Amino acid sequence: MAPAAAPHKSVFAVPPLVRAVFDAFPLVTYPACPAPARCPPPSSRPRLYAWSTPAEARKPGGGYSFDPECLKWQMYLRFCGVKFTTVPSNSSACPSSSGGLPFLIPPPPPPPPNAMPPSPPPPPITAPKLVQWARSRSQHGRGEDDDGDIERGDVQAFLELLDNEIHDAVLYTTHMHPPNLHNLTVPLYAPCAASTPLLRPLMAAQLRAAALARLRRPHPGTLDRDSIFADAAAALDALSMLLGADSWFFNGKAPGLLDAAVFAYLNVILTAGWAEDWPGGLGWAVRRRQNLVAFRERVHEWCQGGVVDK
C-alpha cells in the first residue's frame, strides 16, 4: 500500500546543509541547577506515598495510615521486612497509570562504576505490582511454599471478601453518614478544607458522590443499609472462623497478604472513632469476635517491638 516513491525523497526531509548547521546546537550546555530546597533528598530507602497524617508518618516505622488500602500495603512491606519511609500524600500525586494511592518510589540504583551516564530513575510502582517488588526485596527468606501464597484460590476468595463486602461497609460508615463525613473523613482526605471553610461543603459533596457511585456498583437498586452491614457481619464471621485459634491465617508460619489486609481493616474499624448510630455496625461485629480483636492486638505489638526502626 505504500506509494512507489522512496521515503527519503519526501518533501519534509531536512537538507544536509541545514542539518549540519543544526547539529552544532546546543552551543553551550550549562550545568544542571540544584533541585529546589523543598524536594525530598534522594534517600536510599524506598518511599511509600500513602494517605496518612504528618504526625502519624513521623512515628518510627511510619505509623499506621487511616486508609485501609494503604495500611494493607504498609503492613505487607513490613511483613516482608522491607524498610521504607511513609510520605503523607493525596490522590493528586498519583502517577497517571495507576488508580490511586498507595504507590512506591523505589530507591535509585547505585551509579554504574565506569562513569557511564546514570540510568534513569526507576518508575513508581503501583499497587498491583507491589507484591512482586516486595517479594524480590524481601529480607526474610521466603520459602518455596510461600511463592504460591497469593495465588491460592482460597486466599484470593477471602481477599475479595474484604475488598467487596467489608470495604463497602467501611465506605458507607465513613462517607454516607453525615457526622463521620464532616468530622472525620473530610479533614483526613481533604486537609485543604480545614484552612478554607468555603471548600468544606464542596469537598464533602465530592467525596460523598464518589462513595455513592462506588457503592451503587454492587447494589444497583436502593442502598439498603441493613443488608450492607449484614453482609459485612457475615464476612467478619467468616474471617473469624477461618482464623480460629491460629496465629496467622491459613495457619501459616509467617504473615502474608491476607494477614496484612485483615489487620488493615480491623485497625481502621477499631481505632478510627466512627460514630455508628444504628444497630449492627462494624465495630459491634468485630468486637463480638474475640479472636479478631486479639489478632489485631498481636500484630500491633509485633509492629511495636519487631522490625520497626527509624
Partner 1 sequence: MMELHIWGPAFGLPSIDPECLAAIAYFRCIPDLNPPSPTSKPWRIVPSSNPLLSPTRTLPALRDEHVWIGGGFNGVVEYLRKKSDGKWDLDIDLRGENTNGRQYDDGGDEELPAHAATSYTWAESVAYSSFIRSRLGSLLDISLYISEVNYANATRPEYSKSGMLPWPVQYYVPGQKRAQAWDRSEEVLRKYGLGPADVDPIRVLDSPASSGLETNAVGAGVGTGSEFGAGKGPGGVSSVFGKRPSASIAGVVFKLQTLILRSLTPVAARLVAADADPALGFYFFKREHPTSIDCLILGYLCLAIYPELPNPFLAEGIQELDGGRDGKRVCAWTHEFRKKVFGSTPIDGSKILNSENECPDAAEGILPWGKVESADLPWLTGQFASAAAQYIDGWIPSWARKKEEKPKKPETEEEQERRLKLERAVRKDKAARIATVVVGIGAFIAFLFSSGIISVVSLAEDVEDVEEELEEMEREEQEDLEGSQIDASSVTAEDLFDFFPAGAGGEGRNEGKDEGGERAGGDEDRGPEKGNTEE
Residues in the chain: 310
Q: What is 212-270 written as a DSSP string?
A: HHHHHTT--S---HHHHHHHHHHHHHHHHHHHTT-SSGGG-SS--HHHHHHHHHHHHHH
Q: Which stretch binds partner 1 (CB under 8 A): 43-51, 57-65, 69-77, 222-230?
A: 222-230
**Separation of alpha carbons 6 and 232, rounded Å:** 67
Distance (Å) of CA 204 to CA 18, 50, 70, 73: 59, 20, 21, 26
- Asked if residue 197 binds partner 1 (CB under 8 A), the reply is no
Nearer to partner 1 (CB atom), residue 136 or residue 156: 156
Say if residues 102 and 49 touch (Cβ distance below 8 Å). Answer: yes
- As measured in angstroms, the least distance from the Cβ of 190 to partner 1 is 19
**Using rule CB under 8 A, residue 165 touches partner 1:** yes
307 lies in the site for partner 1, by CB under 8 A: no
Q: Does 301 bind partner 1 (CB under 8 A)?
A: no
Residue from 16, 26, 110, 221 touching partner 1 (CB under 8 A): that is 221
Select the residue interacting with partner 1 from 217, 273, 309, 310 (CB under 8 A): 217
Other C-beta atoms closer than 10 Å to the C-beta of 81 total: 16
Please identify, using beta-carbon distances, which residue of 224 and 301 lies nearer to partner 1: 224
If one asks whether residue 133 binds partner 1 (CB under 8 A), the answer comes out as: no
Torsion of CA 233, 131, 70, 301, to 10 degrees: 70
Provide the 10 A C-beta neighbour count for residue 232.
27
Q: Is 99 in the site for partner 1 (CB under 8 A)?
A: yes
Which of 143/178 has CB closer to partner 1?
Answer: 178
Q: What share of residues in the chain are helix, strand, coil (percent, to 5)?
A: 55, 5, 45
Minimum separation from the CB atom of position 127 to partner 1 (A): 9
The reply to whether 277 sits near partner 1 by the rule CB under 8 A is yes
92 in contact with partner 1 (CB under 8 A): no
The CB-of-242 to partner 1 minimum distance in angstroms stands at: 5
Q: Residue from 91, 111, 123, 246 that binds partner 1 (CB under 8 A)?
A: 246
Interface with partner 1, residue 251, by CB under 8 A: no
| CA-based nearest residue to 185, from 175, 177, 193 | 175
Using CB under 8 A as the criterion, which residues of the chain lie in contact with partner 1 when the complex forms? 99, 128, 152-154, 156-158, 160-161, 163-165, 178-179, 212-213, 216-224, 226-227, 231, 234-235, 237-242, 244-246, 275, 277, 279, 288-291, 294
